[in-house]
Chains A and B, each alone.
Chain A
Amino acid sequence: MTLAATLLAAEENNPLIPHTYELVIGGLAFLLVFVVVGKILTPRIQKTLAERTEAIEGGIQKAENAQAEAQAVLQQYRDKLNEARQEAARLREEAREQGAQIKADLREEAQTEARRIVEAAHAQIEADKAQALAQLRAEIGRLSTDLAGRIVGESLEDEARQRRVVDRFLEELEGSGTAVR
């Protein structure tokens, strides 16, 4: 390159006027970059970035799920514990009620039994008394008849008549007894 040529070149080249060959080669270079970087490679990195976002979000989601599950289990345990406590309290209450009931029942039974025994004794006594009275009555009748026979000297042979006399006597006796009393 000579000085003249350099100066000439400088005069020829206006920096605001593009060279055609630069336009062509620059355009091809840009096209190459666009195809390789834009069309082939950018979609790959976009896919990876999307997958990464998904993975991170998935991880967060998973952690949240696990936490929610743990929370639910804890709640379940608490509920069960509560339930068990209530159940225990209920059972205690029931047992107490049952105990009281049993006590009351036993007392009732004992009282009934006592009453029954007392009544039986009363009945026995009444019966004994009646029997004694009946025996006494027969005895008194016989004794009285014997006595009267001896006194009157007349044997009252006839059984029926004897009895009538005795009965009448006894009625009179009872009637007078009542009146006296």
Chain B
Amino acid sequence: MTTSAALSRPGPRGRLAAFLHRHARVRLSLLLSAPLAWLGLAYLGALAALFVTAFWSTDTFTGDLVRSFTWANFQDLVTGDVYRTIALRSLGVAVAVTLIDLIVAFPMAFAMAKLASPRAQRWLVILVLTPLWASYLVKAYAWRVMLSSDGVLGWGYGLTATIATLSYLWLPYMILPIYAGLERLPSSLLDAAGDLGARGWRTFRTVVWPLSFPAVVAGSIFTFSLSLGDYITVKIVGGKSQLIGNVVYDNIGAANNLPFAAAVATVPVVIMLVYLAAVRRTGALENL
């Protein structure tokens, strides 16, 4: 009724609505301007600032930034063996954490989505989310106590301890996307596979895995990028090892060398871009 009234005698609001209705592009640009501004200014802007800073240097004594172009930071980064070792170690940790989380999360998510009753499903989701309510530091220190040589696990500290702790910390971020993906998978497909004679493994390989793969990719992006940037867990349970995050932190926090820290920080960004490009080739991103 209101629309017909607006059509018969358009007020200013009606005229605006009619204008927007006719000019789809204006409508679209108005709708998108806020998120695009956020993306452009806050997100890409910050990344760009980081990248530009990487080409500056600092006055080593007063700590002031020297805003003149130099390749020196990247030169140090590429020529120093230690940075390559640390980058590869961080990459290894991120891959290991992602694989462990995948192996633990997939059966869990499958059971939640397909085997549990709707009532149990809700409780399981809450249980998976519960650890996220506790502080990151509390959980990391809890693992420190458990891993201590007189603790419950008693493994001692080091890279293994770091991988175990990170796998625990990021597990919910893997379970939830896979759970959501599997929930959308019609159970009738599983029944159909069974009717056609496929056993468990074959059903998994030809039906469940291909359809849930985009969800797995989504989860792996979380666990992979979170592990790649972490520096606190490794400080708490890592013994004497260090990751990319520690190099960034040490250069900003202790040495006040923001440009070099920025140069180091581009390494995980590049690794993530390569990872996303590889994922894109599999076509998983289109089905997210």
A and B part of one assembly: no
A-side residues, CB < 8 A to B, are none
